[in-house]
Amino acid sequence: MCQAWWRVGSSCSLVIEKMKLHSLLFINLVICLGVGVLLVGVHCTESSSPPFACDSSDPLTESYAFCNTTLRISQRASDLISRLTLDEKISQLINSAASIPRLGIPAYEWWSEALHGIRDRHGIRFNGTIRSATSFPQVILTAASFDAHLWYRIGQAIGIETRAMYNAGQAMGMTFWAPNINIFRDPRWGRGQETPGEDPVVAGKYAVSYVRGLQGDCFEGGKVDVLQASACCKHFTAYDLDNWNGIDRYTFDARVTMQDLADTYQPPFRSCIEEGRASGLMCAYNRVNGVPNCADFNLLSKTVRGQWGFDGYIVSDCDAVSLVYDVQGYAKSPEDAVASVLTAGMDVDCGSYLQKHGKSAVMEKKLTESEIDRALLNLFTVRMRLGLFNGNPRKLPFGNIGPDQVCSTEHQTLALEAARNGIVLLKNSDRLLPLSKGETLSLAVIGPNANATDTLLGNYAGPPCKFISPLQGLQSYVNNTMYHSGCNDVACPSASIENAVDVAKQADYVVLVMGLDQTQEREKHDRLDLVLPGKQEQLITSVAKAAKKPVVLILLCGGPVDISFAKGNSNIGSILWAGYPGEAGGAAIAETIFGDHNPGGRLPVTWYPKDFIKIPMTDMRMRPEPPSGYPGRTYRFYTGEKVFEFGDGLSYSSYSYEFFSVTPNKLYLNQPSTAHVVENSSYVSVSELGTEFCEAKKFSAIIAVRNGGEMAGKHPVLLFVKQAKAGNGSPMKQLVGFQNVFLDAGESANVEFILSPCEHLSRANKDGLRVMEQGIHLLVVGDKEYPIAIVA
Ligand SMILES: *[C@@H]1O[C@H](CO)[C@@H](O)[C@H](O)[C@H]1NC(C)=O
Ligand SMILES: *[C@@H]1O[C@H](CO)[C@@H](O)[C@H](O)[C@H]1NC(C)=O
Ligand SMILES: *[C@@H]1O[C@H](CO)[C@@H](O)[C@H](O)[C@H]1NC(C)=O
Ligand SMILES: *[C@@H]1O[C@H](CO)[C@@H](O)[C@H](O)[C@H]1NC(C)=O
Ligand SMILES: *[C@@H]1O[C@H](CO)[C@@H](O)[C@H](O)[C@H]1NC(C)=O
């Protein structure tokens, strides 16, 4: 039996790993030790083999039903659970799940990260043959492309790189805790950069695309039971405050209305699960209306599993289970905390609390073993869907993916494409951009982010294949490039303004690369203001004033900054927002500046003025409350001044729209008996209309888009809906669809949107139920509107 373990492996690290599995069996240990030491001495190779169960060279494998791949996975998982002792069961309820040597089951690490590329930590090691992975732009920039197919391809590339890592023995798990799809509700949030922005439809589409790409799309011919890698929708729910003004995510109790929950906080998660078929979900640290997310039966079991049909595993955010008792005082003892999360429907604890207190909870009869079995069924099902119980993984559909598929030309080009397509042109006075390649003989590149490398990646990044800083990118266009950092770092407590000004004066054109980095916005750190840090503004205006021509301002940042000063300054000709653009970011920026790329990105968040910070970050209300001066949040509700709006984004071309055809312009509900009159408008509940009615009433809106400029470009078309007379907490407008179209100069094309009145012309009422209101609803694209009347 011992021999079976190391026979498949070729490296010493494998032997050592397998030996650990046998540590309970003294005889085996001794034999293995002998052989292992021998092997270590004789042939240590760089690569190691991936961990897997059900090795066919182990004679016992044939007797295990859980190894029998002709059986259904649910049967196999149940069989496995029936063989486990209570201690073994409890050892599986934490992220570092122990090996079960007597059954040939290796250890499993549930915790791995791949927010925008594979990160090196926990389940993932870059210490073997593979030393780096493709680092895509931080999600907030990728979102700005409004390109669901691009998001899908990024997920797919990360999934392929994961299999290469696993095959090379560098992945102890393939369950990634991404995407982060919380709504970017407040501009100060340190983790807003990780999300697809403030709109629930965008966040939902992003989730579906990324999850399907990463997991391997069973909707396009793949098998439902097979996962390329596992994605996890996080952080469920209403989590979007890390540490602001002394209030942190561990203690925060988010007070959320049913209406906001229904049309803002929950929709991305619902899409991620129902349409994306994500195999993982993470419950968040915070409480929602008093109840810790991980201990909320209504959320985890009734809503997610019951209503949305979730069939994956639910993990706690790290150490969230301990908070339930230790910090939040929601449970009366550690055992009560453990019982509360498992009975709520959570399956695995990122941490060790369940390991420590699980058994005593059973002994004290606070927790039944069947509750543990329920969780284990979800956990082993996911491991089996990943193919980890099918014997030698070389045979699996992903077994032939080699290290050459990591950082491949294809993936690196995709990272560049994502950066290009996300970059947003916010200002371009007198068509300063693009700069002429032939006529720009000298260039000054100034600012603390000008030669940025790590900053390009944002947080949750792994080691990238390479870096191209903005300076390097620009140097490839202009030989005579002068560089000055202006400030020592992004915080910029002091600036060497005179020196920077001298450099600027010598150049034909000046590019300033400013903004934020992880010292300003990050996990556990929300911002306290919305302005550029330190002396950055002073540096920008001084350089702009001294330069020969209006300057180009590039902002690297995840969350928005109030740059009204630059918007209105005629010495600043152009402004580009480049998020954190990933490993190829500098190339994408340079290509955009010199016109090898026509920018098409559009802002995925509202850019608020700096006085927005007088609103407490803890106020979760989306809707404005005029009597108290509360302005509401995001483009859907915020009533105050804006620096830039959601969807803003210029191009070197100009695009125009026409409604080409829309059917119908009247929509009859035919259900007058169910219409209710409330606050002077009558409405019908969508659930009363029924799915058959909703399906039958789907309609098409075709929009003609024309590129009236002189340059070809890719353009995201955003279609909104608004009610002519918005009331009852309706959004001012709501994005209902977006599609990209590539158009040559002077070219036109039709873009079709299929809309469902029940989904797109309805709103959430105060109870969180979707209702359709009589009256005029307007489809809106650019400056064009098309009315549709809803009639009883
Ligand atoms: C696997 O299960 C199938 C279906 O029950 C059974 O026919 C087959 O004999 C099993 N294989 C082994 C090796 O036990
Ligand atoms: C890589 O790191 C892991 C965890 O520290 C270790 O177990 C493994 O042996 C290392 N592999 C190599 C090839 O150094
Ligand atoms: C830019 O950064 C790179 C990488 O950190 C460094 O090698 C290079 O010297 C820097 N360039 C300048 C001009 O400082
Ligand atoms: C930059 O320098 C190289 C080598 O001296 C030269 O071949 C190239 O044409 C120059 N490029 C520009 C834009 O001047
Ligand atoms: C409803 O209509 C009445 C009479 O026209 C008006 O006084 C009242 O303000 C309206 N209520 C709302 C909520 O619009």
Note the pLDDT of residue 671.
Answer: 63
- Considering every ligand atom shown, identify the ligand nearest to the alpha carbon of residue 677 and give its number: 5
Among 37, 53, 62, 47, residue whose Cα is nearest residue 11? 47
Atom of ligand 2 nearest to the CA of 48: 13
List of residues 6+ apart from 238 with CB closer than 8 A: 182, 254, 256, 261, 265, 284, 286, 288, 620
Choose the final residue of a domain: 405, 427, 455.
405
Tell whether 103 is covered by a domain.
Answer: no
- Considering every ligand atom shown, identify the ligand nearest to the alpha carbon of residue 450 and give its number: 3
Tell whether 515 is covered by a domain.
Answer: yes
**Shared-domain flag, residues 429 and 375:** no
Residue nearest to atom 14 of ligand 3 (CA): 451
Give the C-alpha separation, 420 to 349, whole Å.
39
List of residues 6+ apart from 706 with CB closer than 8 A: 655, 656, 657, 658, 743, 746, 747, 748
**Shared-domain flag, residues 428 and 400:** no
Residues paired with residue 248 on neighbouring β-strands, in sequence order: 243
Residue nearest to atom 13 of ligand 2 (CA): 128
Note the pLDDT of residue 81.
Answer: 98
Among 520, 633, 635, residue whose Cα is nearest residue 185? 633
Residue nearest to atom 12 of ligand 3 (CA): 451
Give 295-351 pLDDT, tens digit per residue: 999 999 999 999 999 999 999 999 999 999 999 999 999 999 999 999 999 999 999
Among 76, 70, 53, 51, residue whose Cα is nearest residue 377? 76
Note the pLDDT of residue 39.
Answer: 37
Residue 520, domain extent: 414-634
Measure 169 CA to ligand 2 centroid, in angstroms.
9
> Is 79 annotated in the active site?
no
Note the pLDDT of residue 726.
Answer: 82
Q: Which of 471, 485, 503 to mutate to test the pocket of ligand 3 (most atoms within 8 A of CB)?
A: 471
Determine the Cα angle at 196 with ends 523 and 348, to 5°. 60
71 touches ligand 1 (CB under 6 Å):
yes
Which ranges of the chain have pLDDT less than 50?
1-46
Measure 439 CA to ligand 3 centroid, in angstroms.
26
**Shared-domain flag, residues 523 and 601:** yes
**Shared-domain flag, residues 589 and 685:** no
Out of 186, 217, 263, 317, the active site residue is 317
Q: What is the pTM of this model?
A: 0.93
Atom of ligand 5 nearest to the CA of 680: 1
Note the pLDDT of residue 42.
Answer: 33
Choose the final residue of a domain: 374, 405, 436.
405
Tell whether 98 is covered by a domain.
Answer: no
Atom of ligand 5 nearest to the CA of 679: 13
Choose the final residue of a domain: 338, 372, 405.
405
Strands (E), 587-712: 655-662, 666-668, 676-678, 681-685, 699-707
- Considering every ligand atom shown, identify the ligand nearest to the alpha carbon of residue 62 and give its number: 1
Give the C-alpha separation, 355 to 206, whole Å.
35
467 touches ligand 3 (CB under 6 Å):
no
Distances from the Cα of 751 to the Cα of 421, 702, 735, angstroms: 19, 6, 16
Measure 508 CA to ligand 4 centroid, in angstroms.
17
**Shared-domain flag, residues 458 and 374:** no
List of residues 6+ apart from 212 with CB closer than 8 A: 152, 155, 219, 276, 277
Measure 125 CA to ligand 2 centroid, in angstroms.
7
Which CATH number is 180's domain given?
Answer: 3.20.20.300
Tell whether 534 is covered by a domain.
Answer: yes
Give the C-alpha separation, 103 to 366, whole Å.
29
Give 659-675 pLDDT, tens digit per residue: 999 988 888 887 655 56
Among 466, 571, 441, residue whose Cα is nearest residue 512? 571
If you search the block for the tokens 């908070």, which residue do you land on? 323
Give the C-alpha separation, 295 to 366, whole Å.
14
**Shared-domain flag, residues 370 and 440:** no
Burial of 360 by CB count in 10 Å (0-12 exposed, 13-18 middle, 19+ buried)? middle
**Shared-domain flag, residues 228 and 351:** yes
CA dihedral for 385, 390, 391, 397, sign (positive or negative): negative
Note the pLDDT of residue 673.
Answer: 57
**Shared-domain flag, residues 448 and 399:** no
779: left (phi over 0), alpha (psi -120 to 50) or beta: beta
**Shared-domain flag, residues 562 and 419:** yes
Give the helix ranges, DSSP H, for 173-257. Answer: 200-215
Give the C-alpha separation, 178 to 217, whole Å.
16
- Considering every ligand atom shown, identify the ligand nearest to the alpha carbon of residue 729 and give its number: 5
List of residues 6+ apart from 614 with CB closer than 8 A: none
Task: Yes or no: say if 6 and 14 are a contact pair by the CB < 8 Å rule.
Answer: yes
Residue nearest to atom 2 of ligand 5 (CA): 680
Tell whether 334 is covered by a domain.
Answer: yes
**Shared-domain flag, residues 344 and 488:** no
Q: Which amino acid, 19?
A: M
**Peptide linkage before 616 cis (omega within 30 of 0):** no
Q: What is the CA radius of gyration of the chain?
A: 28
Task: Yes or no: say if 426 and 575 are a contact pair by the CB < 8 Å rule.
Answer: yes
Element (H, E) at 343: helix 334-344
Among 733, 735, 742, residue whose Cα is nearest residue 705? 742
Tokens of 182: 């919380």
Tell whether 697 is covered by a domain.
Answer: yes
Task: Yes or no: say if 461 and 119 are a contact pair by the CB < 8 Å rule.
Answer: yes
Mean pLDDT, the chain, as a whole number? 92
Note the pLDDT of residue 40.
Answer: 35
Which CATH number is 462's domain given?
Answer: 3.40.50.1700
Note the pLDDT of residue 719.
Answer: 98
Tell whether 92 is covered by a domain.
Answer: no
Tell whether 10 is covered by a domain.
Answer: no
Residue nearest to atom 1 of ligand 2 (CA): 127
Among 729, 724, 753, 733, residue whose Cα is nearest residue 646? 733
**Shared-domain flag, residues 456 and 599:** yes
Residues with CB under 6 A from ligand 5: 679-680
60 touches ligand 1 (CB under 6 Å):
no
Which CATH number is 703's domain given?
Answer: 2.60.40.10
Among 376, 342, 292, residue whose Cα is nearest residue 78? 376
**Shared-domain flag, residues 193 and 224:** yes
Task: Yes or no: say if 384 and 146 are a contact pair by the CB < 8 Å rule.
Answer: no
Give 578-610 pLDDT, tens digit per residue: 999 999 999 999 999 999 999 999 999 999 999
Structurally, the chain folds into a number of domains equal to 3
